[in-house]
Amino acid sequence: MYIFRENITQIQERTSPDSPSEFLLFQNYPNPFNNHTTINYQIPHSDLGEYSPRVCIVIYNVLGQCIKVLFDDEQLPGEYSVSWDGMDDNGCQVASGLYFYQLTAGNRKILKKMIYLK
């Protein structure tokens, strides 16, 4: 007589809101904007454990020129937001039009576009 017993153990990785699992750059809001806009993004945990990549968020004009650096520093995994008031790095108001914002973290890059209206 044989007795077969099946013991199944399931392991499921749990993530909390403070530990995102994906590298994401969200669409700015409001868009189009005329006073200020907010950009949300998340930096995930690495397979290597705690990882603090250098994170850079830059605004470009349609010519590809960097007009504003919103953030440039190391960040722990998590969800973040930055806002932009339509001013360039020289403190001048930019012209109405199409702009691009890019998130760079480690070797990853994501680019999105937004519209500024005066």
Q: Which residue ranges make up each domain of the chain?
A: 24-116
Tens-level pLDDT at each residue, the chain (118 residues):
555 555 443 333 344 555 667 889 999 999 999 999 999 999 987 655 556 788 999 999 999 999 999 999 999 889 999 999 999 999 999 999 999 999 998 889 999 999 999 8
How many Cα atoms occupy the beta-carbon half-sphere of 110 within 13 Å? Answer: 15
DSSP designation for 18: T
Where is 113: in which H helix or E strand? strand 108-116
DSSP-based three-state secondary structure for 94: coil
Q: Does domain 24-116 have CATH number 2.60.40.1930?
A: yes
Rounded (10°) CA dihedral 11, 75, 27, 32: 160
Residue with tokens 């968020």: 57
- pTM score, whole prediction: 0.78
